[in-house]
Amino acid sequence: MAKLTRRRHKRAVSSTRRTRLIGLPHSKPAGGERPPPRKKAAQEARDAAATIASLSRRLVRAQRRIVLLEAHAETDFLLDISNRRGFERELDRSIAYVKRYGVSATLLVVDVDRLKPINDRFGHAAGDHLLKVIVAVLTAHIRRSDMLGRLGGDEFGILLWNLDAKDARAKAAALERAVEKTPCEYRGRQLSLAVSIGVAALGGDEAAASVLERADQAMYARKAARRKRSAAALRR
């Protein structure tokens, strides 16, 4: 009987050893079953792809934000046209384009006449309204390929393409007449509109500041001539 018991014990031990050798599980490992390596790698790949996609969307939004901020930095908020910074940047590009391709382009400097008396008498809101009307007139009388910008205060710049000096002066005179003929009413009162325009052709070897200075001088000469004519007409 004792021998039989020892044989059964040996058989049980031997069976346990065989079970361990062939890898049959006796109990679950702590923490639950581990996922197969392939499934784990696939999940990590999906997580990485989701992270990359999220970063890409953030980058696109940041780039759009930068473009928007740059556009705002070069825009006059009152008149919704380029400010001096934006206009001078475009002027630099235009000069380089003229130098490279030999095309013709002209800069007009526009100064609003008698804006200060209007601001003093009716307030700056009236002056702002007058500027908006003048910008609307100038925009309506230039081509989409041309550019209008505010240089500061009551002074504007216009870039005209493919015009020689004679045609540019004629265009400047036409813009002056168009502004003068436009009615402008502010709170039941009529405001008179007038501008003086100087003309300067773009040179390929000239800096933007130099072109602006020439056009500015031409504008002041034009303003002085218009004042003399007005004074002479009053004396008659």
Tokens of 229: 């004519």
What mean pLDDT do residues 129-158 have? 97
A 10 A CB-CB count for 104 gives 15
pLDDT at 2 over 60: no
Q: Is residue 164 situated within a structural domain?
A: yes
Domain of 161 in residue numbering reads as 77-235
Q: Is residue 192 situated within a structural domain?
A: yes
Contact 200, 107 (CB under 8 A): yes
Q: Is residue 47 situated within a structural domain?
A: no
- CATH number of the domain enclosing 105: 3.30.70.270
Q: Is residue 23 situated within a structural domain?
A: no
Instruction: Note the pLDDT tens digit of each residue in 52-73.
Output: 888 787 777 766 665 554 555 7
pLDDT at 21 over 50: no
* 3-state SS string for the chain: CHHHHHHHHHHHHHHHHHHHHCCCCCCCCCCCCCCCHHHHHHHHHHHHHHHHHHHHHHHHHHHHHHHHHHHHHCEECCCCEECHHHHHHHHHHHHHHHHHHCCCEEEEEEEECCHHHHHHHHCHHHHHHHHHHHHHHHHHCCCCCCEEEEEECCEEEEEEECCCHHHHHHHHHHHHHHHHCCCCEECCEECCCCEEEEEEECCCCCCHHHHHHHHHHHHHHHHHHHHHHHHHHHHC
Instruction: Note the pLDDT tens digit of each residue in 196-224.
Output: 999 999 988 889 999 999 999 999 999 99
Q: Is residue 213 situated within a structural domain?
A: yes
Q: Is residue 124 situated within a structural domain?
A: yes
Q: Is residue 54 situated within a structural domain?
A: no
Alpha-carbon distance of 193 to 181, in angstroms, equals: 8
Total domain count, the chain: 1
pTM above 0.85, yes or no: no
Q: Is residue 72 situated within a structural domain?
A: no
Active site members:
154
